[in-house]
Structure 1
Amino acid sequence: MRSFKRWLDRSLAAQAVLIFLLGVGASALFRRDDHPVFWVVQGALYAAIAITFVAVQRRRASRAAGTDPHGLVELGRRIRHREVPSEPGERESMRRLVDDQLSLLERRRRWLPYSLGFMGLTAAALLALGVATGSVVFPLVFAAFVIGFCCWAVWMRRRTLDRYHYMRAALREEHERVS
């Protein structure tokens, strides 16, 4: 499983295949009456949009860190495992990456309440519409999903911030010890 996760983390093609398969499965599940070709086209569209987004983000982050995409994946793994690099060049790349990602998270912080509120209003409106029409099951499932997704997003943001703050402190400590 660990090698599968590493392969999935490094390969955009593997991510594209996984997103394509999930898109086809979701289309088949929710649009049973449509032709299977429509499922495949929709899955390909989802995969193309998601991989374009991931590739742009990865390129921006690798440019900020001053490394290639493979080095960026390795730096991300080290941040997740709280490993401080021993080489000065890698430490500098990690410091730049951590600073860039922390500033990005801080810039996005002010929009978080609005996006969470928008998702909550959408769920509440769908729930009210479901109560008015008499179909409550799907709106309740959707509202539970939205609440779960919002809690997961806040938890992941906090966890990511903790990792980046830990790595920033560890890099500063390492820099002061070397100097």
Structure 2
Amino acid sequence: MHAVKHWFNHSLVAQALVVFVLGIGFGALFRRDDQPGLWVVQSLLYTAVIIGFLALQRRRTSRATGAAPGAVVDLNRKIRRREVPQDPEERVIMRRLVDDQLGKIERGRRWLPYWLAVMGLTAVGMLVLGATSGSLVFPLIYTVGVVAFCVWILWMHRRAVELHHHMRSALQDPS
């Protein structure tokens, strides 16, 4: 299992394969009346867009840190496990990575309340539509799902900020 996770984390080809298979699966699930060839074409398009975005993101992070994309993946794993590298060069690269990611988190924090408000409004709207139509089962399930998703987003955001602040303080020079 470790080898599969390692291959998936380091390889855009593995990620593309998963996105492609999921795209075909969703096409088959939600567009049963379409031709299977159309599912494949749409899945190829989705895969190209998503992998292009991921490659661009990996290149930006690689440029910001001065490390190869594979090294950035390994450093992210070390950040998640709170492992502080002993090699001075690796510490400098990790410090740049932590600063870059904290900057992204802080920029994203500005929009977080608005996204949560939009999700809350859709949940309330679904409840209102359910109440007016007489069926509350699906709107209640949807609302519980939205609330759980929002709580998970807030928890993950808080955890990421705490983790990156911890790594920033651990990487400070003791001079």
Structure-2-length-normalised TM-score: 0.88
**SS, match of residue 86 in structure 2:** coil
Equivalent runs, 1:86-165 vs 2, <5 Å:
86-134=86-134, 136-165=136-165
1:68 to partner: Cα distance: 1.2
What residue in structure 2 maps to residue 74 of structure 1? Answer: 74
Shifted more, 42-51 versus 77-86: the winner is 42-51
**SS, match of residue 86 in structure 1:** coil
User: CA offsets, 1:9-35, max 9 Å, x none?
Assistant: 111111111111122212222222322
Give the count of matched residue pairs. 175
1:153 to partner: Cα distance: 1.8
- Give 1:58's aligned amino acid: R
Does structure 1 residue 37 correspond to structure 2 residue 23? no
Shifted more, 100-109 versus 37-46: the winner is 37-46
Could you say what the CA RMSD is over the residues aligned between the two structures, in angstroms?
Answer: 2.0
1:138 to partner: Cα distance: 4.4
- Give 1:100's aligned amino acid: D
CA distance in 2, matches of 1:41, 1:119: 31
What residue in structure 2 maps to residue 11 of structure 1? Answer: 11
Residues 134, 20 of structure 1: CA spacing in aligned structure 2 closer, same or farther, 3 A cutoff? farther
User: CA offsets, 1:84-108, max 9 Å, x none?
Assistant: 1111111001001101111111111
Residues 113, 27 of structure 1: CA spacing in aligned structure 2 closer, same or farther, 3 A cutoff? same
CA distance in 1, matches of 2:134, 2:71: 54
* Identical pairs, percent: 55
- Give 2:145's aligned amino acid: F
Does structure 1 residue 28 correspond to structure 2 residue 65? no
Shifted more, 112-121 versus 126-135: the winner is 126-135
Runs of at least 5 residues in structure 1 that lack an aligned partner in the other structure: none
